[in-house]
């Protein structure tokens, strides 16, 4: 991924554009949200097994 402008990132290989942080692709808030989603999915799967 290469930064094309502030907050816009583009993959040279697949031409995909994503928005992210100004200086890095991920932001602390995005990392926290992603870990929360993963944790909730695991809890849901465990609840369905019981």
pLDDT reading at 44 higher than 90: yes
Measured CA distances, 4 to 34, 35, 48 (Å): 24, 27, 43
The residue ranking higher by pLDDT, 43 or 50, is 43
CATH annotation of 2-49: 2.20.25.30
pLDDT of res. 26: 84
pLDDT of res. 14: 93
The residue ranking higher by pLDDT, 8 or 23, is 8
* CA 50/CA 48 separation, integer angstroms: 6
pLDDT of res. 25: 79
Domain ranges for the chain: 2-49
Average pLDDT, stretch 15-23?
A: 87
């Amino acid at each position: 991924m290469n930064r094309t402008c502030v907050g816009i990132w583009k993959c040279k290989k697949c031409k995909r554009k994503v928005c992210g942080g100004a200086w890095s692709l991920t932001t602390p808030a995005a990392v926290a949200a992603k870990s929360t989603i993963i944790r909730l999915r695991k809890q849901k799967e465990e609840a369905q097994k019981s």
